[in-house]
Amino acid sequence: MDKSPRLWTGFAFPGTAWLLALFAVPFYAVACVAFGSIDPIFRDAVPRWNPLTWDFSESKIIFSSLINGPLQGVAIRTIIYVVCAMLLSFLIGFPVAYFLARHAGKRKLMYLVLIILPFWVNYLMRMLAWVNLLSPSGLFSRFMNILGVHYNWLDGSPITVTLGLVYGYIPFLILPLYATLERLDWRLIDAARDLGANSRQAFRLVTVPMSKPGLFAAGVLIALPMSGDYYTNDLLSRSPSTEMLGNQIDFFLNASTQPQRGALLVLALSIFLLIFMSFYLRSTRQHARETTR
Amino acid sequence: MTMRRRDFLRNLVITTGGITVGGSLLAACGGASSNTTVDGLAIGTPEKPIKLPVTTDAIADGLASETGTLEILNWADYHNPESIAIFEKQFGVKVTTSIYDDEAAAIAKLRNGTFKPDLIFGMSATGLAKLIAADILQPLNKSYIPNFSNVITGLRNPYYDLDSQYTVPYMIYGNGVGYRTDRFDKNAFTDENGYDVFWDPQFKGKVGVLDSPRDTLAMAMFRAGKFDANTSDAAVIKQAGDDLIAMREATNPKVDILAYTEIPAGNRDVNFTWSGDLFTALQYLPENVSPEVLGFWYPPKTITTNDFFCITKTAKAPVLAHQLINFLSDTDNALLNRTYVGYQPALETITVDLLISSGTIPESLIDALVTPERYDAALSQVTLDPAVDALWLDQWTAFTAG
């Protein structure tokens, strides 16, 4: 009888090992680089594996730069771009997921495949295709010219970068949202309608609250990669006026003599996202409690 | 994804900005350039050339070529496969290539034995200092490299390797301004204010600069009449950073290393870039567009750099390695190699007239060539003290982070 709890605990081993190997250890390595030093001859990062020897001097520089220095602008811009891209993704993605879950009928599978199909192509290739389409002589730009919209999409435009983020990550929003909406008990909507709610009220008071876990999960799923994204800006803008934190991380880690600054920015971003993540966990736990009551 | 040559160049100038060469922040604030040797890392500067230590003998004269395989380590697309095929046929050997995409990472892999090539292409002076510190190279025996006499005179005894004990120059390039001759008046570039176009709002959205802190900050310094490309003067570095921010506000330039595709595609009118990019740009011109649309302004005082070949101490085919260096230092072979690589071989025998008459470059790009005179007048980038390096990087961050 005593063995039973141990047995059940043992089932957590693969997951725990997975987390340790692919999250905790790499994250610790990043911290060791961030609080480590630089080889004086070869200028490589020298991680300090013993936390007691960690050097925090560089972290003070980076964090003050983020709060009130050269990196402040890029941090604020990243937040703005991610928030705008998320809002836009919800505006586009929610109706699509709702349609799939509620109205697609027999063609549901076909629509799902059609949504996913473009994303079988590598992200880089898709973005490069957009560079072609958005260039002044590209098909999209020429079409927009016919409509009277004369805009240089690739001229370091925040709009293009934000739209690029939406395009790149929206399937990661639609799919979990669809999974949540599909499991909704639609009889509750019908009940709301029977009790006098119009369709808008039923949507606002029943559908949206019941979709909360999916909305949060989808939000977290796209917010995390968007916040560290650097390729979208690299491919669609390449202008300093649209740089995101991911670009600075890429620069410090891959092209500078101060890789520990890149590691510190990774940590800073992780801490920021952790706040977002804990909010998500708290909400889902609260929602689970409410539904089991 | 494999890093191409120009990614290397971007990283190179950053790396050259980062090795400990002694001095202190106090010295840094004094305004003098850093140089020389500290902590086992031997670094020459034009003012203080260096004779590198030798810990082993070069191979003896008159040895027969090895048979079998010659292994080379090179950047992606940085030699012409056709040239290598000719060498293989001529010497009856097979040449295998390993690719590296980051100089520091390649040196780390050479140190730990992951890479075991006979011959390395395209290392920089900074890389050389590290390779010597790690005792990875063997001295050359130039009796196997008679074509060494073709090398640009000023590079036969370079400051980073006096007597060329370990290295033979490969490619050479200078910093300047690439532009479209069909959209841009060449007369805009005068010796005094050629860089002003990057601050001129009428060119907003049509300009680009190098994604390379040392190069682009130095360009802002040159524009302001400060010609120390390795300055440790905090005020000068700060002013250059402020000027770049002003440039960002005025013209919103693209910051990348894509001039070689963007200028020929017509997406940019003018770009601060490396001279070699304009030669590569020829391959990216759309059909029916004349090569004469590509132009280059080579500033009278600018940075000029080269890379080189070197042979590892553990080379299994050192004679063949010498022979391939000699092969690619032959004028005709170097010309053939250049048709693929794009960059300019560091050979005196490859003259402007030869390149024009061979039809490989248009007359509009004569100014992109590094002549021996230009090399002699060139400014060099040397390694900075870490504290000074941090000053440069801080200004770059202020510019790129917006």
Same domain, A228 and A123: yes
Same domain, A49 and A89: no
Structure tokens of A171? 């399937």
CB B237 within 8 A of CB B217: yes
Extract the runs of DSSP E, i.e. beta strands, from B191-267. Answer: 207-210, 254-256
Same domain, B180 and B55: no
Burial class (CB in 10 A: 0-12, 13-18, 19+), B388: buried
Same domain, B135 and B202: no
Return the closest-CA partner of residue A71 out of A275, A261, A277, A274: A261
Q: What is the ipTM of this complex?
A: 0.82
Residue A127 CA, chain-centre distance (Å), reads 17
Q: Work out the pLDDT band at A2, boundaries 50, 70, 90.
A: low
Q: What percent of chain B has pLDDT over 70?
A: 89
Return the closest-CA partner of residue B225 out of B251, B193, B247, B177: B193
Same domain, B258 and B291: yes
Range B36-58 average pLDDT: 78
- pLDDT at position A292 is 67
User: Does residue A213 surpass a pLDDT of 80?
Assistant: yes
Range A247-273 average pLDDT: 90
Same domain, B266 and B125: no
Same domain, B144 and B178: no
Same domain, A134 and A198: yes
* Dihedral in degrees, nearest 10, Cα atoms B176, B12, B268, B374: 10
Q: How many CA atoms lie within 13 A of B283 on its CB side?
A: 11
Range of the domain at B252: 174-303+381-396
Triad B392, B397, B398: Cα angle to 5° = 100
Same domain, B142 and B32: yes
What is the spatial distance between Cα B154 and Cα A146, in angstroms, rounded to a whole number? 58
Contact yes or no for B104 and A41 at CB 8 A? no
CATH number at A242 reads: 1.10.3720.10
Same domain, A95 and A196: yes
Those residues with Cβ within 8 angstroms of residue A57's Cβ, 6 or more apart along the chain or in another chain: none
Q: Left, alpha or beta for B139 (phi > 0: left; psi -120 to 50: alpha)?
A: beta
Within a domain: residue B21?
yes
Same domain, A78 and A144: yes
Q: For A135-181, what is each residue's pLDDT tens digit?
A: 888 899 999 999 998 888 988 899 999 999 999 999 999 999 999 99
Same domain, B387 and B349: no
How many beta-carbon contacts under 8 Å exist across A and B? 95
User: Does residue B30 surpass a pLDDT of 90?
Assistant: no
Same domain, A191 and A249: yes
Contact yes or no for B17 and A136 at CB 8 A? no
What is the spatial distance between Cα B215 and Cα B221, in angstroms, rounded to a whole number? 10
Look at strands B254-256 and B207-210 and give their pairing: parallel
Triad B352, B356, B357: Cα angle to 5° = 115
B205 to chain A, closest Cα gap in Å? 6
Same domain, A68 and A164: yes
Q: Write down how long chain A is.
A: 293
Q: Which residues of B touch A (CB under 8 A)?
A: 10-11, 14-15, 17-20, 39-41, 102, 104, 107-108, 130, 133-134, 205, 211, 213, 248, 252-256, 258, 265-267, 386, 389-390, 393-394, 397-402
Q: Name residue A46's amino acid.
A: V
Return the closest-CA partner of residue B173 out of B48, B51, B285, B257: B257
Q: Work out the pLDDT band at B200, boundaries 50, 70, 90.
A: very high
Q: Name residue B379's amino acid.
A: L
The full 3-state SS of A82-112, as one line of letters, equals HHHHHHHHHHHHHHHHHHHHHCCHHHHHHHH
Same domain, B234 and B138: no
CATH number at B156 reads: 3.40.190.10
Closest CB to A41 among B40, B267, B400: B40
- pLDDT at position B252 is 92
Residues in A closer than 8 angstroms to B104, CB to CB, are: 42-44
Q: For B347-394, what is each residue's pLDDT tens digit?
A: 999 988 888 888 888 888 998 998 878 888 889 888 777 788 889 999
Long-range contacts of range A65-70, CB-CB < 8 Å, 24 or more positions apart? Answer: A65/B397, A66/A265, A66/A268, A70/B394, A70/B397, A70/B398, A70/B401
Domain stops at, among A55, A71, A90:
A55
What is the spatial distance between Cα A260 and Cα A266, in angstroms, rounded to a whole number? 10
Same domain, B141 and B186: no
Tally the domains of chain B: 2
Burial class (CB in 10 A: 0-12, 13-18, 19+), A72: middle
Same domain, A15 and A128: no
Same domain, B77 and B168: yes
Q: For B208-238, what is each residue's pLDDT tens digit?
A: 999 889 999 999 999 999 999 999 999 999 9
Residues in A closer than 8 angstroms to B386, CB to CB, are: 38, 257
What is the spatial distance between Cα B357 and Cα B350, in angstroms, rounded to a whole number? 11
- pLDDT at position B2 is 42
Same domain, B220 and B145: no
- Higher-confidence residue of B111 and B384: namely B111
Within a domain: residue B401?
no
Helix (H) or strand (E) holding A26: helix A25-34
Burial class (CB in 10 A: 0-12, 13-18, 19+), A225: middle
What is the spatial distance between Cα B259 and Cα B261, in angstroms, rounded to a whole number? 5
User: Does residue B3 surpass a pLDDT of 90?
Assistant: no
Range A115-121 average pLDDT: 87
Tally the domains of chain A: 2
Range B67-82 average pLDDT: 94
Helix (H) or strand (E) holding B280: helix B275-281
Of the listed ranges A190-194, B45-49, B100-104, B193-197, the least confidently predicted one is B100-104
Any idea which residue has 């670094």 for tokens? B43
What is the spatial distance between Cα B260 and Cα B262, in angstroms, rounded to a whole number? 6
Same domain, A147 and A211: yes
Q: Helix crossing, B234-251 with B386-400: angle to 10°? A: 20
B386 to chain A, closest Cα gap in Å? 8
CB B291 within 8 A of CB B360: no
Contact yes or no for B14 and A135 at CB 8 A? no
Same domain, B55 and B86: yes
B332 to chain A, closest Cα gap in Å? 36
Average pLDDT, chain B: 86
- Higher-confidence residue of A8 and B295: namely B295
Range of the domain at A132: 62-292
User: Does residue B7 surpass a pLDDT of 60?
Assistant: no
Same domain, A17 and A130: no
Q: How many CA atoms lie within 13 A of A226 on its CB side?
A: 31
